[in-house]
A = this chain, B = another copy of it.
């Protein structure tokens, strides 16, 4: 059984007042803030494969999922809690590198690993990450805030993660994870989310974890509205620094961890926010239909066909 994790003990001047070593962690919440809580499973065989993903990438992606959820609320992350079930035969080195990847990302965002639990897994690595964040009271950006006429935006480029995964699946080539960072080391858009909240730009928001077609359907469902996406407007990722990905991964591919948000047509949305490109890709509509305007000008129904991970 690999060694226990190194958790923060906390301290008087930190958001984590008491970390590991007590029955529960104690977190200090900034004045007049609400707290955000998100939990995400990362399962071997479903969310990653040891033969495809270096352990640093698995650790990074595990935490990135939670941080991205906090970003999508316009929040600031405070602390993370990691529950790990590890196979008895897993090398300690794998665990060390997994933690290195996770802690490196945590440090960049000032997030303390404040607690968690470990156990032996009968089969495969299972990690459950909890991220706790905060947001000024009443200011969390919800999925339910979109209105007909709002413009729809995404940050960054889409489809890079799914396209990298397709290459991994094809088994044709060896990878340098550094050239496919959107898949191996996705960047949670915490800073962008904060600006969108502070400047009151975004009326509704979610992150692109399941894929644009599915994530826009969730947002529309919570807002009780429809959407029209312009196919040509979708910013497609370049992978391996070369060609643009096909429409399919950009429209349905998951795990890009970019932000999807809506803004009033009267709001001026900067082309770049915190250094990240924003692109208008469509409009919120009345009714409940999701449509895709093809390059030809024809409108077709947009089916939520988002990412369902790579089941073995």
Listed in ascending order, the chain A residues whose CB lies under 8 Å from chain B are 17-18, 21-29, 33-41, 43, 45-46, 68-70, 72-73, 75, 79, 81, 83, 85, 114-124, 126, 128, 130-133, 135, 137, 140, 142-144, 205-207, 222
Contact = CB atoms under 8 A, between A and B. Distances in A.
Contacts of A29: 29, 33-35
29 contacts: A17-B140, A18-B140, A22-B206, A23-B38, A23-B70, A23-B72, A23-B207, A24-B36, A24-B69, A24-B133, A25-B36, A25-B37, A26-B35, A26-B36, A26-B140, A27-B36, A29-B33, A35-B132, A39-B81, A39-B83, A39-B115, A39-B117, A39-B128, A39-B130, A41-B117, A41-B119, A121-B126, A122-B124, A130-B130
Given A24-B38, A38-B25, A45 B122 contact: yes
Given A75-B24, A143-B22, A123 B122 contact: yes
A37 B27 contact: yes
A120 B124 CA distance: 12
A309 to B, nearest CB: 9
Contacts of A38: 23-25, 115
Contacts of A121: 126
A137 B30 CA distance: 12
Nearest to A75: B24
A45 B33 CA distance: 41
A68 B23 CA distance: 9
